Amino acid sequence: MSHTTDETTTSATPPPPTTDPAAAQAADRDLKAKHRAVWASGDYPALAREVIPELGPVLVAAADVGPGRRVLDVAAGSGNASVPAALAGAEVVALDLAPELFEDGRRRAAEAGVEVTWVEGDAEAMPFADAEFDVVLSCVGVMFAPHHRASAAELLRVCRTGGTVALLSWTPTGFIGSLFATMRPYAPPPPPGAQPPPLWGDEAHVRDLLGTGVEGLSAQRRSLTVGRFAGPGAFRAYFSTRYGPTLAVYRSLAGDPERVAALDRDLDALAAAHTRADGTMAWEYLLVTARRTGEAQVTP
Ligand SMILES: C[S@@+](CC[C@H](N)C(=O)[O-])C[C@H]1O[C@@H](n2cnc3c(N)ncnc32)[C@H](O)[C@@H]1O
């Protein structure tokens, strides 16, 4: 399968201007197809259910979600935040690049006895009208769209003035940010202009992206306690088979047992370094909430 690990890039520079819009569009379609394949591989819905189920409810609780609210969950995956938002009484639309994940989401919604509308689409060009939603949220989701300013502009565009933008993102120095940094030397170079996902976990970066499009921005660093893994080897076995970005890096190393062994060692060392005496891990994230101003996205 194709693999892309531009999730691991350190380049924070925006895409270089291209003189050929058709070529740029074709390249973007190709990149998004690769991203879709990455997230559809492995078993992301299992990971969302078994490892990070608390995050959706945390985001929903912070995001002014309730009856009568029209909520958009961007990069919703299998509905980790969409289903809790619907349970809170909101009318919820879940958008994701990888519709393969919706089957599990539909099952979760049915089990919970709620309705969610599932829409295939790209966070950088969403199929919604301006100001359609009262709340636009994303749980470790929009951070994986490669062009941050484009996706930030879309979050703002579809949120009504006075509405809420709420984002939960892994931090660059937390466990998942460090996981991407650890995988980076093993991965093919990212395409030009693709930005690293964990930058969305940096408050200054998010303030810059949302600019005057929001006011009253609050940012809190918090940690998710993960007690799922019996040890570093268990973490690696789980992530290398279920988490698309990790699976993609291993697939790119197929036929190179020495590099595979080196990545194994690096991942084990990373997991060990982040495991506490009681065997649990702390995975740091940034929780951002802000009110939509109705102004354009101008950097302060
Ligand atoms: C780590 S998962 C998070 C899913 C879900 N929000 C959760 O909390 O479990 C990242 C999600 O981002 C989606 N994604 C990546 N790039 C995207 C894009 N450009 N547009 C929309 N979704 C995207 C992936 O398909 C995947 O479902």
Say what the pLDDT of residue 108 is. Answer: 98
Cα–Cα distance measured from residue 131 to residue 266, given in angstroms and rounded to the nearest whole number? 45
Say what the pLDDT of residue 13 is. Answer: 45
pLDDT tens readout for residues 86-130: 999 999 999 999 999 999 999 999 999 999 999 999 999 999 999
pLDDT tens readout for residues 115-172: 999 999 999 999 999 999 999 999 999 999 999 999 999 999 999 999 999 999 999 9
Pocket test for ligand 1, best of 5, 7, 97, 154 (most atoms within 8 A of CB): 97
**CA dihedral over 267, 268, 270, 276, signed as positive or negative:** positive
Q: Which atom of ligand 1 is nearest to the CA of 79?
A: 5
DSSP assignment of 35-88:
HHHHHHSTTHHHHHHHTSTTHHHHHHHHTT--TT-EEEEET-TTTTTHHHHHHT
Residue 212 has pLDDT above 90, yes or no: yes
With a 6 A CB cut-off, is 97 part of the ligand 1 pocket? Answer: yes
Q: Which atom of ligand 1 is nearest to the CA of 47?
A: 9
pLDDT band at 291 (very low <50, low <70, confident <90, very high): very high
Say what the pLDDT of residue 24 is. Answer: 85
Residue 3 has pLDDT above 50, yes or no: no
**Whose alpha carbon is nearest atom 4 of ligand 1?**
77
Residues with Cβ within 8 Å of residue 1, at least 6 apart in sequence: 37, 41, 248, 251
Say what the pLDDT of residue 10 is. Answer: 34
Query: Residues of 250-283 as b/e, b for ≥16 C-beta within 10 angstroms?
Result: bebbeeeeebbeebbebbeebbeebbeeeeebeb
**Whose alpha carbon is nearest atom 10 of ligand 1?**
141
Residue 176 has pLDDT above 80, yes or no: yes
Say what the pLDDT of residue 12 is. Answer: 42
pLDDT band at 20 (very low <50, low <70, confident <90, very high): confident
With a 6 A CB cut-off, is 6 part of the ligand 1 pocket? Answer: no
**CA 258 to ligand 1 centroid distance, Å:** 31
**CA 276 to ligand 1 centroid distance, Å:** 29
Say what the pLDDT of residue 84 is. Answer: 98
Per-residue pLDDT averaged across 198-211, rounded?
98
Say what the pLDDT of residue 18 is. Answer: 59
Say what the pLDDT of residue 16 is. Answer: 53
With a 6 A CB cut-off, is 144 part of the ligand 1 pocket? Answer: yes
With a 6 A CB cut-off, is 96 part of the ligand 1 pocket? Answer: yes
Cα–Cα distance measured from residue 6 to residue 12, given in angstroms and rounded to the nearest whole number? 12
Q: Which atom of ligand 1 is nearest to the CA of 146?
A: 19
pLDDT band at 300 (very low <50, low <70, confident <90, very high): low
